Amino acid sequence: MKKEIEIFERYLKTKNLSLTKERKLILDEVFSIDGHLEADEIFLRLKKDKKDVSRATVYRTLGLLVNSGLVRKVYLGEDHIHYEHTHGHTHHDHLVCIKCGKVIEFSDKKIEKLQASVCRERGFQELSHTVQIFGYCKDCKE
């Protein structure tokens, strides 16, 4: 498995961009978090560690990480975007509990296959997808 940093640097190369100190800090921080994260969370964590990076750079770099394919955006029913790193994980989707907020990951090969065939039928070239199922988790349903 290629290290994230190599992939990112290679991606940046293709865009004539370079792996700066700030971009590396953000990359490391993103990959140190398991699960779902918010842009501002990265900003605040770095700030706490005295590794100051501006908000603008955090947002800009997250955009690059998404474009590089290392990270993806996820919509979890809240009014802002979450991110999660995809490199080194098998693809998965989410069950979101609307009471306690828990997010349960799942993956299902058969669903993926059916989605692929929906795309094929319509001449649509899939790049990514997200599935969210909202409801009550085991502990929250009455």
What are the residues binding its own copies (CB under 8 A)? 73, 75, 77, 79, 81, 95, 97-98, 104, 106, 108, 110-111, 114-115, 118-119, 122-138, 141
Find all residues with CB under 8 Å of 90, minimum gap 6, and list them. 107
Q: Cα–Cα distances in Å, from 96 out to 12, 93, 111, 131? A: 34, 10, 18, 10
The answer to whether residues 81 and 72 touch, using CB atoms and an 8 Å cutoff, is no
Nearer CB in complex with its own copies: 41/93? 93
Q: Which does 14 bind (CB under 5 to 8 A by kind): its own copies, DNA, none?
A: none
Q: Which does 44 bind (CB under 5 to 8 A by kind): DNA, its own copies, none?
A: none
Nearer CB in complex with its own copies: 14/125? 125
In whole angstroms, give the CA distance from residue 115 to residue 37: 26
The single-letter DSSP state of residue 78 is: S
In angstroms, give the least distance from the CB of 49 to DNA: 13
